Amino acid sequence: MRSEEQKIIYLQDYKPSDYLIPKTEMWVDFTPERTRITTDLHIERQVGVEDGTPLELDGEHLELVSIAIGDEVLGAGQYELSESGLKLLDPPQSFVLSTVVDVEPEKNKSLEGLYRSSGNWCTQCEAEGFRRITYFLDRPDVMSVFTVKMVADKDLAPVLLSNGNPVDSGEMSNNRHFAEWHDPHPKPSYLFAMVAGKLDKISENFTTKSGKKVDLNIYAEPGKAELCRYAMDALIRSMKWDEERFGCEYDLDVFNIVAVSDFNAGAMENKGLNIFNDKYVLADPATATDQDYALIERIIAHEYFHNYTGNRVTCRDWFQLCLKEGLTVFRDQEFSSDERFRDVERIDDVKGLRQSQFVEDSGPLAHPPRPNQYEQIDNFYTTTVYEKGAEVVRMLMTLLGKETFHEGVDLYLERHDGEAATIEQFIKCFEDVSKRDLSQFQKWYTQAGRPQVSYTTAYDAESKQFTLELKQTVPATPGESEKSPMVLPIKFGLVSNNGDDLGWDSVEGAEVRDDLIIMDKEDVTVQFHGVSSAPVVSLFREFSAPVTIQTKASLEEDLHRARLDGDPFNRWESLQSAILNIVSPSMAVDGPALDLDLLDQVASALSQTLDSQDMSPSFKALSLRLPNYQDYAQRVGENINPDHIKSIKRDVDRAIAERLRGQLVSLYSALHLPDEYEPNAEQSGMRSLRNQSLSLLAALNDKQIFEMVETHYNEAQNMTDRQAALAIMCAYAPDRAEPLLAHFKENFAEPMTVFDKWLSLNASIDDDRTIDRIHSLMADDRFSLETPNRVYALFGSFTQGNPTQFAREDGAGFDLIADIIMHIDKFNPQVAGRFAVAFRIWKNFESKRQNAARTALERIRDMENISPNLSEMVNKTLE
């Protein structure tokens, strides 16, 4: 039941804290039974706050052992304890509060606060986990200088780490030892971290641009340190890149990363002590795919980049989450683009955005990058905050130009260094450097939903005039019916017959700068004078704004762009949309039969791309990835029958594969890779092209091709190829996949990262046995619902990668996931809440499936003792 005390928190209610804690000293004593935490908080009342104003410290699951102000032990009457904290009734103006609390990390399965992973102690404090470690003002605008002394048994925990710099360590009696850490940078409690345990490490060092030497260490569970080499390499490249591109120089003597195997999210940017889910650190060619390597590089960079965007300048309150996350995702995207192939990275990022953020935006959980209300902040670590947040920063760069944009970021980092800032303050910096009014632009942060853009074009040969009419509308989202027009930076080109961009003599109707139209009204008519021939317009090049274009281009126009557009993004995009445009009438359950002949021209454009000398293998590989299930489903929008979509997709894939068979086979056989595996962009592009060729060929459902896939598996020299072969077989020939999966488990699945791949592959199989298969996988000794990586591997792959089984007509898929969510909610509400997003598409299905999903959702909603996290998610989804 929805609990009565469920509180909604509003942005407009923000009030600075009455008290601050400029200094915090902690003594932490780890023993197997419990951890004792002694804390001295140096507290000061803010100027202007009345005498006698009580101080409410956050604290949860803490056992208070003692409490004192200075030397005076406090008695009843001076403070009040509750489930959520400790209230000092009449604190002095300036004082030291000493508390001693006990916590029980052994029993903590929520993976928030202090918990144990493979026997080691570690912490996760963002967003509100620090209150499970000690009493504190656990909010991001209260920043403190922390000193932490950790004590533990030398054998149980030879490694003792916290934030900042190591300042002291030594031996103690009873086989115990200690380490003291001091972090000179004031930080909010969510950036606090400790790790104590048995860990191996690899070390390097980095000399910053001003000549300061920094010790770098990556720690992992015993025996796994050598698997951290690539992460270390990515870290060093990140540090260098951040100096060169953003002028950000590392600011402590050491930078530590610890990889743990139980972690709710991907990784965490604690000051000087990043803690990682180990799947985003550990890699070697035998266990990690090219994609894994790329993700490791990304996430290592992301957390490192937070040192400035997040840590040096943090968030005033959790509504501002995208201030650090959107900006930092933008930075990690730029890093990958500079390190790899920019065009390909951009296409990949946009694919990801459409697959998750667009879906969120069109459903019951839509919200702006900066929401103005929430119940549980844990539920707002969303793709809208992260990925759309990054798109908004990218639009700023597009709008202002790269140089001015960087001046704005420089100003932001300088002006707000050491502060907790807001979106308004961030935007103000760009206004100050550009002298541009960005108030309308700011709507991107505060208005949910995605503009739908339509356009018409006309060319008058006589007057050499080209007219482009643009229109935007923003559809209503839950709780927001009135929308106003957004500022759309539209990168564009007028593509001529031979593919060159046409110029013009003059233009009117909108602000147009070089290849950029700035559209800030609902309707805009742009007149270009002096255009020498009729162009095909190419809009939103590089995906310059996160919109959906509603106008259906003609096949001719799509193919013209697919062949000749100077912008690789639109070249890729046009081929995809040509296919979707051809198929979409048939996607409705009662739509006309698919006319496969229309695909001839698409196939020949694709063939031309594959033959081209100018295009990289990775671009070709992306082109070969024909629209996937989600792309089709988004086109259909509502009344979805996944079986129907899937069968149409199969027909399309097969039709194209038939037309390209010879070319695909020769691509597959002719591409030769160097003997030595390197996870770099060049090689991974080549592998991807081979694997995509094979994958499309598999759509032919031909015995000969399946034998090629088997050979590919058997001869694979690395995990990328091996996993690709398995995925193809799981997708196209489940019966042939079975023995390969068994072989894979037997021979390769020893490391947990590979075991997880095996789980995912199993759960992706689209046949009626999959639910039973999942039940037997759950019985495997190595499976545990308490480890998020196992859960994501098995059930994430099922809900995301197996739409026909998840959304079975009989509801068995929904029921399975509801059961799992309810089970996990009892000990890990964060993961339960996040997993509930699987249901956000439920209203898009046809009525039978909708009803089945509703029943499952209502069952969750009505469960006893539902957590506030899960309750918020399920109620919003049902609304």
Active site residues: 303
CA 689, 694, 695, 700 torsion-angle sign = positive
Q: How far is the CB of 328 from Zn ion (least distance, A)?
A: 5
Q: Which residues bind Zn ion (CB under 5 A)?
A: 325, 328
Strands (E), 154-233: 159-162, 165-171, 176-188, 194-197, 200-207, 213-220
Output the smallest distance, CB 268 to Zn ion, in A: 8
How far apart are alpha carbons 589 and 576 in whole angstroms?
22
Name which of 390 and 777 has its Cβ closer to Zn ion: 390
Q: Which of residues 391 and 653 has its CB atom nearest to Zn ion in the complex?
A: 391
CB nearer to Zn ion: give 126 or 872: 126
Closest contact distance (angstroms) between CB of 428 and Zn ion is 23
Maximum distance among all Cα pairs of the chain, rounded to whole angstroms: 95
Q: How far is the CB of 468 from Zn ion (least distance, A)?
A: 38
How many angstroms separate the CA atoms of 421 and 418, rounded? 9
Strands 465-473 and 373-374: unpaired
Q: How many whole angstroms separate alpha carbon 426 and alpha carbon 422?
A: 6
Sequence-ordered list of residues with C-beta below 8 angstroms from that of 661, at least 6 positions apart, any chain: 697, 700
From CA 622, how far away is CA 626, in angstroms rounded? 8
- Give the C-alpha distances (Å, rounded to integers) separating 606 from 6, 109, 629: 54, 50, 20
| C-alpha span between 488 and 395 (Å, rounded) | 8
Torsion of CA 145, 146, 147, 149, to 10 degrees: 180
Strand ranges (E), 418-532: 420-421, 452-460, 465-473, 488-495, 506-508, 511-513, 516-519, 523-529
Q: Give the integer Cα–Cα distance in Å for 830 and 810.
A: 29
Rounded Cα gap, residues 279 and 607, in angstroms = 37
Written as one letter, the residue type at 346 is R
Which single residue is written with the structure tokens 């934030």? 163
Cα distance between residue 62 and residue 133, in whole Å: 7
Nearer to Zn ion, 315 or 729 (CB): 315
Least separation in angstroms between CB 276 and Zn ion: 12
Give me the least distance between CB of 140 and Zn ion, in Å please: 13
Closest CA to 575 of 622, 637, 613: 622
Could you count the other beta carbons within 10 Å of the beta carbon of residue 319? 23
Question: What is the nearest approach in angstroms of Zn ion to the Cβ of residue 163?
Answer: 17
Q: How far is the CB of 120 from Zn ion (least distance, A)?
A: 23
Rounded to a whole number of angstroms, the minimum distance from the CB of residue 326 to Zn ion is: 9
Count Cα neighbours of 671 within 13 Å in the Cβ-side half-sphere: 26
Question: Residue 396's CB: how many other CB atoms inside 10 A?
Answer: 23
Task: Please give the distance of CA 714 from its chain centroid, rounded to a whole number.
Answer: 34
> Which residue lies nearer to Zn ion by CB, 321 or 531?
321
DSSP 322: H
**For Zn ion, the closer CB: 322 or 517:** 322
Please provide residue 258's backbone torsions phi and psi, each rounded to the nearest 5 degrees. -125, 130
Q: Which is nearer to Zn ion, 328 or 688 (CB)?
A: 328
d(CA 603, CA 608): 9
Q: Are 774 and 750 in contact (CB under 8 A)?
A: no
3-state secondary structure of 192: coil
Measured from the Cβ of residue 661, the count of other Cβ atoms closer than 10 Å reads 15
Q: Smallest gap, in angstroms, from Cβ of residue 834 to Zn ion?
A: 15
321 versus 648: smaller Cβ distance to Zn ion: 321
**CA-to-CA distance for 256 and 162, rounded, in angstroms?**
9
Given the complex with Zn ion, which of 305 and 814 has the nearer CB atom?
305
Of 85 and 272, the one with the shorter C-beta distance to Zn ion is 272
**CB nearer to Zn ion: pick between 197 and 369:** 369
Q: Which residues pair with 517 in a beta bridge?
A: 490, 512
Tokens (6 digits) for 333:
């995207």
Dig out the tokens for 744 from the structure: 């894979």
CA–CA separation, 20 and 42 (whole Å):
8
What is the full DSSP assignment across 71-105?
Answer: TEE--BTTEEEETTEEEESS--SEEEEEEEEEE-G
On whether the CB atoms of residues 803 and 629 are closer than 8 A, the answer is: yes
Shortest distance in whole angstroms from residue 336 CB to Zn ion: 15
Closest CA to 38 of 149, 182, 113: 149
Compute the least distance from the CB of residue 335 to Zn ion, in Å.
Answer: 13
Residues in the chain: 879
Question: Considering beta carbons, is residue 121 or 374 the nearer one to Zn ion?
Answer: 374
CA-based nearest residue to 822, from 777, 861, 784: 861
- What is the closest distance, in whole angstroms, from the C-beta atom of residue 545 to Zn ion in the complex? 23
User: Considering beta carbons, is residue 231 or 857 the nearer one to Zn ion?
Assistant: 231
Taking the C-alpha atoms of residue 222 and residue 201, their distance in angstroms, rounded to an integer, is: 8
Range list of β-strands (E), 386-497: 420-421, 452-460, 465-473, 488-495
